[in-house]
Amino acid sequence: MAFTTTSRPSGSTKGSPAPEGTRQYLLGGNWKSNGTIASCEKIISEFNGAGPIPANAEVVIGVPFIHIPIALMQLRSDIEIAAQNCSLTNTGAYTGEIAPSQLKDMGVTWVILGHSERREGFGMAGEDSELVAKKTKFALENGLKVMLCIGEKKEEREAGTTMDVCAEQLKPAAALLSTEDWANVSSELFVCFFFFEHILCLFVAFMICSF
């Protein structure tokens, strides 16, 4: 049985929702591979004690797999939970993989895909844009919303090729996803600031409704 928002502390909002036809702000935090049970509970407590969330914004936190149940039980109900990855497979004999259907069943609503660290591989084979696009499509088919990460390296930015790099990374997704799919996809804009001793990274992004 999925964790339900009714069992979590309630949150609060202020202001007015985004007018029809305008973009909703998406505020996303990625905890990466950080945290202990104690540190996660401390951060959750900080969020639960924070003020109201603007009604024209959606707040999502990317939590390590092992800490997702804690967040789904303790985090205020108006903050959604994202997994930091998912597989291109459904359930079955795929040791070590976590299917998007399993995340959806638990109560997770978002997944982060195509992050630069996963594209680089950190000691193992990285994920190319074709794979990221396929995983994005599969996650959407299984009812998750996707934070599709794109972005240039420092040397590419300094060479003035940022837009070319980003466009190339988006090509496979643009070819594979339908117009309807894009309503549930956001793209990180890499506006970041760090606090909580770098455990939490918040970035500001706009919901992309279509291309």
Q: What is the mean pLDDT of residues 132-154?
A: 96
Is the separation of the CB atoms in 110 and 205 below 8 Å?
Answer: no
- Domains along the chain? 24-208 (3.20.20.70)
pLDDT digits (tens, 9 = 90+) for 24-66: 889 999 999 999 999 999 999 999 999 999 999 999 999 999 9
**Per-residue pLDDT at 207:** 34
- Supply the pTM of this predicted model: 0.84
